[in-house]
Amino acid sequence: MLAAMEPLTHMLTGACLSRAMGFPKRARYSTLACVIAAELPDADYVYRLGGPVTYFEHHRGWTHALWSLPLQAAFVVLLMFGWRYARRAWKSRRRRGRQEAPWRPWLLGCMALVALLSHLLLDWTNNYGVRPFAPFNPRWYAGDLVFIVEPVLLLVLSLALVLPLVFSLADSEMGVRRSRFRGQGLAAAALAVMVGLWLWRYDLHGSAVHVGDEQQLAGGCGDAGVAGSVPGKPIPMAQCG
C-alpha cells in the first residue's frame, strides 16, 4: 500500500522552493538543504524495521508533527556543517575562484523549515493525511486533493529544474556567460502550477461531494456520498460511502 507521497515529488518541491525564493545565491548549499528537509519527515520509514504494525503506528507521526520541524531543521543544518567540512577538506583548492554564495547556517535553518512545512502540506493534499499535532492530538487531517503519485506535478517540477540546465548548456556552447543562479522564475511558475492544481481539484472535489449527496438523496447509495482522489483518474470521483 502506498501510504506516503512518493519521495521524488517532495524532493523536487524542495529544490523548486529553494530556487523560487532565490535561496541559492543567498546561502551556500541551500538547495541541498531544502531537498533533504523536504523528504526528511519520511525518515519514519525506519520504523519498518520493527514490523508493519510498528510502522503504521508511527508513520506520519512525530516526524510529521509541527513541534518536531525546528528540530529536524537543526538536524539539516548540522548535516550541512558536515558537508561543508568534507568539501573544504577535499575539494577547496579546485573550487577556488568559483562563484559561490555565502555560508549562512541560520538562513539554511529557515529554508529547511520552509521545506519541511512543504512536506506536511504535500502529505495533507492526498487522502492519507497528516497528524500535525501528534502525539498530543491524534486527529488526522487530509485534503484529499491529489493522489500520492501525481504525474502532472512530477512533470512540471522536473521541467522547472531541468530547463535552466539545458539553457545553460546552450549558452556555454555559444560562449555566453550567465549567472550560475538561474531558474528562479521557472521554479516559481512550477510552484504556482502546483497550487493552481490543488485549487482546481478542491473545486472539483466540492462538485463531486455534491453529486454524491444527490445520489444519496435519490437512494442510489446506502450511506453517505463521499468524494476522493482516485489513482489514474484526473479528477475527484463521487463514490458511495
Binding range to Zn ion, per CB under 5 A, among 115-123, 152-160, 211-219, 225-233: 115-123
Least distance between Zn ion and beta carbon 58 (Å): 12
Q: What is the rounded CA–CA span in Å between residue 20 and residue 186?
A: 8
Least distance between Zn ion and beta carbon 63 (Å): 8
Q: Which is nearer to Zn ion, 7 or 196 (CB)?
A: 7
What CA–CA distances, in Å, run from 224 to 128, 147, 213, 230? 19, 22, 7, 18
- Pair 9, 35: CB distance under 8 Å: no
Window 4-23: residues binding Zn ion (CB under 5 A): 4
Is residue 123 a contact residue for Zn ion (CB under 5 A)?
yes
Which H/E stretch holds residue 240? strand 237-240
Per rule CB under 5 A, count of chain residues that contact Zn ion: 4
What CA–CA distances, in Å, run from 82 to 36, 49, 68, 73, 88? 14, 27, 21, 14, 10
Binding range to Zn ion, per CB under 5 A, among 25-33, 37-45, 47-55, 134-142: 37-45
CA 187, chain centre distance (Å): 13
Binding range to Zn ion, per CB under 5 A, among 21-29, 42-50, 150-158, 216-224: 42-50
Write the interaction track for Zn ion spanning residues 45-74; mark x where CB under 5 A is met and - where it is not: ------------------------------
Is residue 42 a contact residue for Zn ion (CB under 5 A)?
yes
Q: Which is nearer to Zn ion, 4 or 194 (CB)?
A: 4
Least distance between Zn ion and beta carbon 4 (Å): 5
Least distance between Zn ion and beta carbon 5 (Å): 6
Q: What is the rounded CA–CA span in Å between residue 10 and residue 78?
A: 21
| Amino acid, res. 99 | Q
* DSSP-based three-state secondary structure for 170: helix
Binding range to Zn ion, per CB under 5 A, among 1-9, 19-27, 79-87, 223-231: 1-9
- Tell me the three cell numbers of residue 94: 579546485
Least distance between Zn ion and beta carbon 70 (Å): 17
C-alpha angle 45/46/52, rounded to 5°? Answer: 75
The position carrying cell 497528516 is: 130
Report the DSSP pairing between strands 225-228 and 237-240: antiparallel
Least distance between Zn ion and beta carbon 106 (Å): 26
Is residue 39 a contact residue for Zn ion (CB under 5 A)?
no
Cis peptide before 135 (omega within 30 of 0): yes
Q: Which is nearer to Zn ion, 42 or 226 (CB)?
A: 42
Least distance between Zn ion and beta carbon 125 (Å): 11
- Residues at the interface with Zn ion (CB under 5 A): 4, 41-42, 123
